[in-house]
Amino acid sequence: MLSKELLQKVKLIEISTRRTVSDVMTGQYRSSFKGHGVQFSEHRVYVPGDDIRHIDWKVSARSSETMIKKYEEERELTLMLVVDVSGSENFGSQKKLKSEIAAEVAGMLAFAAVQTGDKVGVLLFSGKVEKIIPPKKGRQHVLKIITEILTFKSRTQGTNLADALDSAGRIMKHSGIIFVISDFIAEDYVQPLKQLVRRHDVIAVVVNDERESQIPDVGQLLVVDPETGAERWIDTGSYQFKKWFKEREMFYRSQLQSILKNGKVEQLSVLTSSDYGDMVVKFFRSRSRKKK
């Protein structure tokens, strides 16, 4: 049984995300991914100028003419949301946690998809794949997705992004759209990401908080690793600590940028303090212009 507070939060997310989708994103979602999915339609006689890669040699051998496969754009796509629910997502120095931003962005994407007739599925992961919600359509399905992301309690430690990407690839039998919503604080996921990109349109939604890159000088501070629960005292005023923290942050940022760029994965960055709705809309508008 959901608490009254949680029900109100889910309702608020629905109202805010649906309004943005209806008012601003109508047509943006579909135009951003138009032509992505294609399916076989029929055979027809080859004519000069056709792509020879589409020639069906087996059918042609049984016919007196060279036959080519005709394809048409799929009217229905499948959107898969791969969402990080590990311990590091339960952090937020502003009004919202990273997990709340993840739920809201997921809700916005899901409403955009179902409004255009597409199915939406979800894969929740932390140290392993924790839960899979099969792709479906409809408002109630989207509300279930939002609720699950907000309330899910991880049963494992760590962030196994590689396993999540592998699983998403096995679930998505046909080419589709995959949004990976995470802070990407993980290891050894380069190869699974590249394999996923070969068949699907993959977008990385990188959710961060400003305090993860900037720690104020407040002297001695007890910090807790949200992934393992390990505690440690740090001196925020120490030169060595500041130097180490800055180098660590720069390494993480540069490594992530390199992985996404080399993997040909588009990136949508969202901060807990920013207007995520505006960032998502700008992303879709930019993609729509590139597709034209």
By DSSP bridging, strand 231-235 and strand 220-224 are: antiparallel
Q: How confident is the model at residue 3 (pLDDT cuts 50, 70, 90)?
A: low
The three-point CA angle 81-213-281 to 5° equals 40
Dihedral sign for Cα 266, 269, 270, 275, please. Answer: negative
pLDDT 10s digits, 32-82: 665 445 555 678 888 887 778 888 888 888 888 898 887 655 557 889 999
Whole-number percent of the chain with pLDDT over 70: 82
Residue with the bigger pLDDT between 188 and 47: it is: 188
- Measure the CA–CA gap between 76 and 78, rounded to whole angstroms: 7
Residue 44: in which H helix or E strand, if any? strand 38-45
- Measure the CA–CA gap between 239 and 100, rounded to whole angstroms: 34
Count other C-beta atoms under 10 Å from residue 153's C-beta.
8
pTM of the entire structure?
A: 0.77
Bridge partners, 122 (sequence order): 81, 133
Residue with the bigger pLDDT between 292 and 139: it is: 139
For residue 74, what are its two tokens?
Answer: 């799929």
- Measure the CA–CA gap between 146 and 144, rounded to whole angstroms: 6
Q: If you search the block for the tokens 């899979």, which residue do you land on?
A: 132
The mean of the pLDDT values for the chain is 82
Task: Give me the phi and psi of 83, to 5 degrees please.
Answer: -115, 130
For residue 117, what are its two tokens?
Answer: 């007739």
What CATH code would you report for 4-23+75-291? 3.40.50.410
Angle of helix 239-262 relative to helix 190-199, nearest 10 degrees, comes to 30
Q: How confident is the model at residue 93 (pLDDT cuts 50, 70, 90)?
A: low
Tell whether the model's pLDDT for residue 286 goes beyond 90.
no
- All CATH 3.40.50.410 domain ranges of the chain, comma separated, are 4-23+75-291
Which DSSP letter does residue 55 get?
B
